[in-house]
Amino acid sequence: MAFDPSIFKAYDVRGIYPTQLDATVARAIGQAFVAEVEPKTVAVGHDVRASGPELYEALIDGLTAAGANVIKIGGISTEQLYFAVAHFGYDSGICVTASHNPGEYNGFKMVKKGSEPISGNSGLEAIRDRVERLMATPVTASVKGEISEQDAFPAYKEFILSFIDTSKLKPMTVVTNANFGYQGQFAARVLESLPITLSQLNAEPDGTFPKGRPDPFVPENRDEFVAKIKAEQPDFGVAWDADADRAFFATGDGIFLEAYYMNAILAQALLAKQPGEKVIYDVRYTWAVIDAVTAAGGEPIPCRVGSSFIKQALREHNALFCGESSGHYYFRDYFYCDTGMLPFLLILELLSTTGKTLNELAGDLLSKYVVSGEINRTVEDSAAIIEQLKAKYADATTIDETDRLTIEYNRDWRFNVRTSNTEPLLRLNVEANSQQLMQAKRDELLALIGGNA
């Protein structure tokens, strides 16, 4: 097949199987990875997707043909790939995954030593540029790399549980939605022998994703999860995307919480244990996190949206934590990486030690910091629209271009509008101090932006 360079995105590789990404492309990507990164060892795993095993084996064939040794860690969550590379000291790692994309997609997330990300500006484009010629003329190293296998889960479980005091956990029931990924099984194994009862939804791994796109960030994908919570009245609910590098929470009475509010809750909980630390926040929504971090004695630091920017900022500032509004939670002590399991465990601990419900912890945040949720519009000229918005709101208290355009009017209302790093979209987020004002400004902005939903 002809190589389609568009499968190389800002942070990873994603394409439709088998029209854009097949075994031939996977093998060439493995060879290009070795040529560019020059690793001696590469840890390789895959998520639940039906095409995963084929691409996994082809990738490994390319890596070993180019001379790298491969440690096969099998079916995993992406966070376990990050753990294995950093914890065991491997030179690099690749997870075969397309994250929350529909089942016909697959791809690769790549890291260097220490699980430092490989993204567009740190090697991914160079790997892309090597792939086409390696498809035409594959290389064979003088000494082919060796293959070994490792079960990383026992060490991962011990490590992830070390973040909380398990002796303080009180009996709780949690509704979970693994969206047919492996995380339902992993969560049960992490929590076995602890006083937590899981009422699981879509926990049986199925890489065809029979209920559609495995992404709790999409509002229409939340209904089944919320309905189960309302029916069962657990202590709270947690949902993961297919590769479990994101987590989303709901209160015990079925209120789905924007990740923004969880960012503030988790930041305060972490700062209570490690006061005075720095916390990174993305510019989509800000006030709740700024206030929570400041009240807890921490230092809030803004950052552009996107995993590579956030991981770079975490390292640069040696920051404790970042919660991204898309549901990624990054921790310095988890190798500056995102994990969907750790925020879940921290909430279990927080509810146990405070005696509060998640609804009580979130209540003031929901009423004080009102947000629109991310709204996407397909438009013909996003740059021109952003310039029009900048001119329209030139009288704003704050005009910031850290990430495209952020406009603020004191603590009354604000918005951020930016182009997507992974899709041809304009993304809008609005925050205000009341529901009425948020809705009015949201509708005003959407009328100015136009485009298609």
Q: Is 119 a catalytic residue?
A: no
Asked whether the beta carbons of 235 and 254 are under 8 A apart, the reply is: no
The type of residue at 379 is V
Half-sphere exposure of 18 (CA within 13 A, CB side): 9
φ, ψ of residue 392 in degrees (nearest 5): -60, -40
What is the rounded CA–CA span in Å between residue 109 and residue 129? 17
Closest CA to 323 of 371, 366, 269: 269
Q: Which 3 state secondary structure label does DSSP give 202?
A: coil
Tell me whether strands 413-419 and 426-432 are parallel, antiparallel or unpaired.
Answer: antiparallel
CA distances for 377 relative to 102, 275, 446, angstroms? 20, 40, 9
Provide the greatest CA pair distance for the chain: 68
Closest CA to 247 of 235, 260, 259, 236: 259
Choose the catalytic residue: 51, 92, 99, 119.
Answer: 99
Report which secondary-structure segment, H or E, holds 126.
helix 125-136
Signed CA dihedral, 105, 326, 422, 108: sign only: negative
Closest CA to 149 of 222, 49, 69: 69
What is the rounded CA–CA span in Å between residue 104 and residue 214? 12
Report which secondary-structure segment, H or E, holds 240.
strand 236-240
Residues catalogued as catalytic:
99
